[in-house]
Amino acid sequence: MARAKVYVTLKAGILDPQGKAVKGGLEALGFSEVEDVRVGKYIELRVADGSEENLKARIDEMCQRLLANPVIEDFLSEIVQEASSEEDSDPSKFRRKLDLDHKINRK
Amino acid sequence: MKFGVIVFPGSNCDHDCYHVIRHVMGMPVEFVWHKETHLSGFDCLILPGGFSYGDYLRTGAIARFSPVMRAVEDFAEAGGPVLGICNGFQILLEAGLLPGAMLRNRSLSFICQDVYLCLENPHIPFTLLGHSSQVLRMPIAHGEGNYYADPQTLAELEANGQVVFRYCTAEGEKTDGANPNGSLHHIAGICNREGNVLGIMPHPERCCEGILGNEDGKLIFESILLTR
């Protein structure tokens, strides 16, 4: 089992009213250092194993055809292979693992 | 002239369209469930407003893969008139039958109000009864009607007369203040190059009867009837 993380964001230069509103909210909270906010989507897919290359091509196709609208959005995907099948079946563990991954990625 | 009103899960203006065509225009009309794969005997198709598939992912993104859409594409390809209203417009964009995309309204608000529209192209089947620069009043009701297309696409739309309606003031001036959602070039409605596919954010089906205080929407339906 593999996991694909897909990030969909508005293309550079396209007005993001949501991002603007969030920026306004952060400013109101005193976070004056925020210069710009862009709001996007995070989509998580669990997919059957395959070669990484093939998987990447399939995910890209999914993004092109449905997950993103290429007229206004860019996308980025990363694939994470998962070892334990037990872990796969427990959503709470899965989520904890995700959080952990995020922390690791930050560092 | 027989009309088909396509019904997606989450369409909610389908009955209004049906009512106007049947009871105001006196024309035969049928609902067409989105699972249909064949469309025969129709002279005009309408994709109504609503929130198809809950607007999940993006407006119109899922509806565009409904089984019926392949038949709609064939119908449009063959030159049949297709009218997409509000969510129907968004579906036509996602399907690639019209160029561009919709962004969230610049105010972030869902806007439900009457707007004024300037008719820019009175030469397509949906506007034949109008005249250039005619001002119409129609209601809008949407959260994502902020039309976007890249500069090249916009230039092509303008050059080919594909911008059919623009937001304007009651006097017909296309000012920023009269643009309710931030649409580029004040665009409220566009057609394909051939002119047989029209997408509009305003709701003509909601203003076709005197009892509702506005009959400006009739221009569109009466124009279509002229074509057959």
Distance between CA B85 and CA B77 in Å, rounded?
Answer: 19
**Other CB atoms within 10 A of residue A96 CB:** 12
Residues of A in contact with B146 (CB under 8 A): 15, 17
Asked if the C-beta of A18 comes within 8 angstroms of chain B's C-beta atoms, the answer is: yes
User: Does A28 reach chain B within 8 Å, measured CB to CB?
Assistant: no
Give the per-residue pLDDT at A62: 96
Put simply, the answer to whether A17 touches B106 (Cβ < 8 Å) is yes
Contact B164, B191 (CB under 8 A): yes
CB B200 within 8 A of CB B84: yes
Looking only at the bridges linking them, the beta strands covering B3-7 and B111-119 are unpaired
Minimum-distance CB partner of A72 among B57, B103, B108? B103
- Residue B227's pLDDT is what? 85
- Write down the domain spans for chain A: 2-106
Q: What does the pLDDT look like over A20-43, one tens digit per residue?
A: 999 999 999 999 999 999 999 999
* B203 has catalytic annotation: yes
Whether residue A17 and residue B148 make contact (CB cut-off 8 A), yes or no, is no
**Residues making up chain A, counted from first to last:** 107
Chain B residues bordering chain A (beta-carbon distance below 8 Å): 57-58, 61, 65, 94, 99-101, 103-108, 146, 148-150, 182
- Residue A10, min C-alpha distance to chain B (Å): 10
Other C-beta atoms within 10 Å of B117: how many? 26
- Closest-CA residue of A relative to B181 is A17
C-alpha B182/C-alpha A17 separation (Å) is: 10
Class of domain A2-106: alpha beta
Q: What is the pTM of this model?
A: 0.88
| Superfamily of domain B3-226 in the CATH hierarchy | Class I glutamine amidotransferase (GATase) domain (3.40.50.880)
Q: Both tokens of residue B53?
A: 């598939």
Please give the angle made by the CA atoms of A69, B8 and A61, to the nearest 5 degrees.
25
B123 is catalytic: no
The pLDDT of residue A107 = 41
Average pLDDT per 10 consecutive residues for chain A, totaling 107 residues: 93 91 95 95 91 90 96 94 59 56 49
Beta carbons of A14 and B104 less than 8 Å apart: no
Cα–Cα distance between B83 and B56 in angstroms, integer?
22
The predicted complex's ipTM stands at 0.82
Distance (Å, whole) CA A90 – CA A104: 21
Would you state the pLDDT for residue A52? Answer: 82
Specify whether the CB–CB gap between B132 and B196 falls below 8 A.
no
Torsion of CA B36, B28, B220, B64, to 10 degrees: 0
Q: What percent of chain A is predicted at pLDDT more than 90?
A: 61
**Token pair 């997408």 is at which residue?**
B199
How far apart CA B120 and CA B19 sit, in angstroms, is 28
Q: pLDDT tens, position by position, for chain B (228 residues)?
A: 999 999 999 999 999 999 999 999 999 999 999 999 999 999 999 999 999 999 999 999 999 999 999 999 999 999 999 999 999 999 999 999 999 999 999 999 999 999 999 999 999 999 999 999 999 999 999 999 999 999 999 999 999 999 999 999 999 999 999 999 999 999 999 999 999 999 999 999 999 999 999 999 999 999 999 987
* Min distance A18 CA to chain B CA atoms (Å): 7
A4 touches chain B (CB under 8 A): no
**Structure confidence at residue A10 (pLDDT):** 95
For residue A92, count other CB atoms closer than 10 A to its CB: 7
Size of interface A-B (CB pairs under 8 A): 36
Nearest to B59 by CA among B116, B18, B110: B110
Q: What is the rounded distance in angstroms from the CA atom of residue B117 to the CA atom of residue B217?
A: 11
Q: What is the pLDDT of residue B218?
A: 97
